[in-house]
């Protein structure tokens, strides 16, 4: 890849950073902070991975909201994570 193409590379709005055998899924929003979702089944992981492959970010957001509602986190953490999710306009900008 030449320098021009590499300089034009824009990070994906949502990407999988890690997934381990304990079921901890690491997600990054816009290449920023990493969030960990515990107890994610391999089925859900494969579903999210497939949705990201086809750039279906809206469905991924739904899955992540369901995963985050299952966690016992504070409301402040939840609002911070939701504020970092890309808006619908940003998703359709691509």
Specify if 74 maps to a domain: yes
pTM of the model: 0.65
pLDDT confidence of residue 90: 57
Specify if 1 maps to a domain: no
Q: Give the residue numbers spanning the domain of 18.
A: 10-92
Specify if 3 maps to a domain: no
Specify if 4 maps to a domain: no
pLDDT confidence of residue 30: 82
Number of domains in the chain: 1
pLDDT confidence of residue 82: 72
Specify if 77 maps to a domain: yes
Q: Per-block average pLDDT, block size 10, for the chain (94 residues)? A: 63 86 89 86 94 91 82 66 66 56
Residue 86 to residue 93: CA distance in whole angstroms: 11
pLDDT confidence of residue 88: 57
Which residues have a Cβ under 8 Å from the Cβ of 55 and sit 6 or more positions away? 94
């Amino acid at each position: 890849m030449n320098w021009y193409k590499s300089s034009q590379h824009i990070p994906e709005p949502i990407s999988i950073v890690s997934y381990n055998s304990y079921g901890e899924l690491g997600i990054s929003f816009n290449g920023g902070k990493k969030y960990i979702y515990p107890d994610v089944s391999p089925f859900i992981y494969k579903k999210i991975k497939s949705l990201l492959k086809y750039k279906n970010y809206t469905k991924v957001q739904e899955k992540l909201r369901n995963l985050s509602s299952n966690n016992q986190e504070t409301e402040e953490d939840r609002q911070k994570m939701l504020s970092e999710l890309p808006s619908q306009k940003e998703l359709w900008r691509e």
